[in-house]
Structure 1
Amino acid sequence: MESSASCPAAAAPLERPFRVLVGVTGSVAALKLPLLVSRLLDIPGLEVAVVTTERAKHFYSPQDIPVTLYSDADEWEMWKCRSDPVLHIDLRRWADLMLVAPLDANTLGKVASGICDNLLTCVIRAWDCRKPLLFCPAMNTAMWEHPITAQQVGLLRAFGYMEIPCVAKKLVCGDEGLGAMAEVGTIVDKVKEVLFWHGSSQRS
């Protein structure tokens, strides 16, 4: 299928890098996406692609993302007829690990409820749960402390997804408390930890 040539899933060499798909949602913490991607690319043998929601685009410039960036329009532009690739399925097949950072309150609610109304939530809904999925909650403290949040985070953990807990700090809105996305260094260290575990399990 020539139309799939632009999709990273199209290339599958016998020996290839470990592939990380980063999902980014409409939290202010999306400001850190360029730094997060840069730090992930510093890990030897890692290949990275990004799936963004439309609202997340408000917080970063695509020119600052040095990897392939996918959004909703790509899903619909790629598929014209039955023989064409389905992007959210191709990306699920391509990735060895998914990292959703930040995961805002809106997308948290969607994922916990099984809603898949954009490219990112479709990838998550189609995700192969035998492969790791890490998520980094990020929202206002009042939203984090709402009773529904603990229930939704608990559901994601029950699905087998790994939480990288939020931290307490002064938020961009001026409030102070829990809800801020984990520091980029913490997130990258967790990815390295999962990579080490994955490599060890592959050798055993």
Structure 2
Amino acid sequence: MQRKFVAEEERTEGAVHVLLITTGSVASIKAPLIVSELLSFSSVKVEVVSTESSLSFFDHEAIERSGVRVWRDKDEWGKYGEYKIGDPILHIELRRWADIVLIAPCSANTLSKIANGSCDNLATSLLRALSPSTPTYVFPAMNTLMFEHPLTARHLQVVREVIGYTVVGPIGKMLACGDVGLGAMTEWRDIVQIVLDRFNLTKRA
């Protein structure tokens, strides 16, 4: 049975609605930490959208046990014959819900898709439908040579200058593959801090 999500029913007055998108980078392992820290602040609601490849790196059920849903491609339309005209469309409802979008991590593959306007999964369809007024932050994470590939600079330029997203990072460190160099995702606490600063959030009592 398809899970239903209707933005106007899910939004909470006075809350900050944070949409976290995880993509196919090892840095997706940090998703539970980002979610847990965000939930420690007052009036924060979180939803997660994950590409199928990103689910290899973290326990999505652990996040869901905290009350945060992890949405994936199969949730978009459900099984054949389940969707009926007039039913809510998940990528549209989630973009209506979000006050801020964090793409953390943003893999080279998803970066390329965003820059080229692809919408072949739930995450990229949501981003293609996203209002330009919704603050959106991209946190690249990839191998150093992937980051240094000439197409990466072009994709980042499109994301910044044409689409209008804010790109933060990557940073230099030893990567999961053992290489040392630029390409790691911005530290997860710094990602959370961006949300805290933007909305002046305070810790729960």
Shared fold per TM-score greater than 0.5? yes
What is the aligned-residue identity percentage?
44
**Does 1:181 find its partner at 2:185?**
yes
Shift of 1:14: 7.0
Contiguous gaps of at least 5 residues in structure 2: 201-205
1:110 correspondence with 2:108: no
Residues 8-54 of structure 1: per-residue CA shift (max 9 Å, x gap): 52415672411011000010001111111111112221100000000
Distance 1:153 1:136 in 2: 11
Equivalent-residue separation in structure 1 for 2:128 and 2:62 (angstroms):
28
TM-score (norm 1): 0.90
Q: How do 1:46-195 residues align onto structure 2 when only pairs under 5 Å count?
A: 46-65=44-63, 66=66, 67-77=68-78, 80-158=83-161, 159-195=163-199
Say if 2:52 and 2:73, in contact at 8 Å, map to a contact too: yes
Which structure has greater helix proportion? 1
**Structure 1, residues 94-133: CA drift from partner, whole Å, max 9, x if none?**
1111111000000000000000000000000000011101
SS in 1 for 2:78: helix
Distance between the aligned counterparts of 1:14 and 1:54, measured in 2? 28
- Distance in structure 1 (CA, Å) of the matches to 2:101 and 2:6: 14
2:61 counterpart of 1:37: no
Take 1:13 and 1:26, find their aligned partners in 2: how far apart are those partners?
A: 28
In the alignment, the residues of structure 1 paired with residue 191 and residue 12 of structure 2 have an alpha-carbon distance, to the nearest angstrom, of 29
Q: CA deviation at 1:7?
A: 1.4
Unaligned regions of 5+ residues in structure 1, if any? 197-204
The amino acid of 2:189's aligned partner reads G
Q: Structure 1: which amino acid aligns with 2:78?
A: E
RMSD: 1.8
User: Residue by residue, what CA displacement relative to the aligned partner does 1:127-176 show, whole Å, maximum 9, x if unpaired?
Assistant: 00111011100000000011111111111111111111111000010000
**SS in structure 1 of the partner of residue 20 of structure 2:** strand
Could you tell me which amino acid in structure 1 is paired with residue 90 of structure 2?
Answer: L
Cα distance between partner residues in 1 of 2:61 and 2:10:
27
Give the TM-score of the pair, scaled to structure 2: 0.89
Tell whether the 8 Å contact from 2:170 to 2:182 is kept in structure 1 after alignment.
yes
CA–CA distance in structure 2, aligned partners of residues 126 and 135 of structure 1: 16
